[in-house]
Structure formats: C-alpha cells, structure tokens
Amino acid sequence: MAILLCVSLSLILLPQVGSVRNCHPGCRCEVENYGLFDSFSLTKVYCSGVGPSSAPIPIPLDTSFLDLSSNSIYTITDSMLTGPGYTTLVSLDLSRNYISEVHPNALSRLRYLETLDLSQNSLEDLTDGVFTGLPLTELDLSSNKIQELRLDIFSTKAHGKPISVDLSNNLLAAVSRRPHTGPPNIKSLTLAGNLLRTVPDLRGIPLRYLNLDGNPISSIEKDVFVDLKDLVHLSLSGLPTLTAIQPQSFKDLQNLQVLDLSNNPKLDSLNPEIFTGLIALQELNLSKSGVMSLPDNILSYVPSIRSLSLGKNIQCWKTQKQGQFHRQIGQTKSGEVLTCDVSDISL
C-alpha cells in the first residue's frame, strides 16, 4: 500500500519530461509537465554551441528557459531575441560568448525575464536603460570587462520607440501576467571578475546577494553599501589590491549574515569599527587574508556570529564559556566567547 502510494504520488508530483516537435536543429527541447493532469508545463530549450546566428533561433511558444551559451555571439541586436516564444522567457543564458555589445532594445521584449546570465563575455559597458522594464531578480555579469556600473542601466528608459502592445484580443492574459514596471527588483547580482575599481552605487536595489570577487578594488569607502539593508550575503573575496576598509562601511547592512573577505592578501588589519551595524552577521571569512588577529571586543560588534575563519586554516566559533582548553577572546557579559581551534596564535 505504502509503495503504491509512493508510486502514485511521484507520478503526480515529479515532472514528466517529453520532447517537442519542431525543435530547431542543433537544439534540444524539453517539456516538463507537472500537476495532476499535466496541467502545468515548462518548456526548456538548450541551444548551447549551435553556432552564431543573426536571425532569432525559432523556439517553441511558451518557452520559459533558453540556453544560448557558447555560440560565438558578439552582439545582441534589437532583433535577435524576438519572435513567438521569446516573450514568455523567464530565464536566459547568454554566457560564454564574445558579447561586447547589447543594443538598447535587445532585451525589451523579454517582459517576464527574471534570470539573465551574461557571464564570461567581453562587455565593457552597458547602455543606459538596457534592463529597464524587465522583472529581473537574478543577474550574472561575472567575468566581463566592466569598469563602471551605472544605476541607469536598470532605471532609465531605453532609447528608441516604445513598444506598443495590442491588448484588444489578449486583455485577460495581459492582466494576469502584468509586466514589470517601477524600480529594479534584482535580488542577486554577480559582478565577480570585472575591472571595477570601486564598489558601484547600487542604492535602491533590493539586493540579497552581491558578489564583487576578483575586481581591482583597492579600498572600501564609507557609505558604499548605504541603503542595501536587505543584503544577506556579501562576497568581497580575491581582491588582490584591497588594502583598506573604512570604519562603518557596512553599517547599513543590518540583515547581512555572510561576509566573505577571504583571499585578500593585502588586507592586514581591521579596525573593529568596520563591523559596526553588522548585528545579524553569522559567518565571517578572513581566511587567506593578511589579517592574523582579531580585535578583542569583536563579539560586541557581531553578536550573532557563529563561525569565523582566519589565516590558513583556523576556525573560530562562538561558545558558552566553559573550560579553558582553547584560547578564547571577546568574552561578553553573557559568558559567550569565541573559541578557535588553535592555541598558539595571537588573537
């Protein structure tokens, strides 16, 4: 009975993968049906490595995911991402091409696009307004050549004629799937491996995850993270030129839980005031950085800390004060201490 129940449950809940007729040569198309009577379906189209094409690759109506990675694409023109199927895309992968240019209205018809991967391309700059009007929540721009990121790429109106939409036949559909308007809604932004010299101004974006690893940032200035109060995870790892973090740089990040400052060899001392405001911080990674000791009173700055990594392989964690087997620092009134797994470092 139990087995029967499991089997029938899995038939209902697991997606049933089918194939699609009329899939473009070289692409692989999959339809996943969900729900009791396959009432809900997702079409995914994989066209990685099919080669460059200036005309849009035809994709099935209602495609929600499209992979166009590794296709030697240099420019995304205004017409490449148009046609039936493209308007319903929720996720688009353009990674591993040679893209150096995205035309101003190239993405403007992708009115339901939430996830966009442009990593491993040759972008130096993006036109103002290129992401305006897209309901993007996840944007990966890592491994490009971006020197400066302006907020205008998300908020200014794109150039050219606005796209008029005929609602007469399709009013219901338009109402139930209202396109995104208003301020950017990006929750996850990856800018790792670019040429940014400073932390870009991201004010007004409700980011939860931000990755700036591997950029030539030499200093973190006060107020660069101002307003990012929803941020949960901030990665500033592998910054070969980072020498200084100004006190109170992170003071608005009241929800930050993870701060990765690992692999920053030139960062060798920390003023405790750097940690001002990080009341929710649980994980701090300083491994392979130049920082070898921690301020005595660090626990009073980061009361929620659970784990901290330091040096080559030193782990510290917060415990209630008990025996004296380990070196302990930062004792607070409640008897909580930071305990590290070595006894011979100067903390």
Output the smallest distance, CB 192 to ligand NAG, in A.
12
Of 124 and 341, the one with the shorter C-beta distance to ligand NAG is 341
Q: 184 vs 238, which CB is nearer to ligand NAG?
A: 238
Q: Which is nearer to ligand NAG, 144 or 287 (CB)?
A: 287
CB of 168 to ligand NAG, least distance (A): 55
- Shortest distance in whole angstroms from residue 292 CB to ligand NAG: 15
* Residue nearest ligand NAG by beta-carbon distance: 262
What is the smallest separation between the CB atom of 265 and ligand NAG, expressed in angstroms?
A: 12
Q: Residue 320 Cβ, how far from ligand NAG at the closest point, in Å?
A: 21
By beta-carbon proximity to ligand NAG, the closer residue of 97 and 285 is 285
Q: Which residues bind ligand NAG (CB under 6 A)?
A: 237, 262-263, 285, 287-288, 307, 309
Closest to ligand NAG by CB, 114 or 213: 213
The structure tokens listed for 297 are: 């009173």
Residue closer to ligand NAG by CB (options 109, 318) is 318
Nearest approach in angstroms of CB 263 to ligand NAG is 5
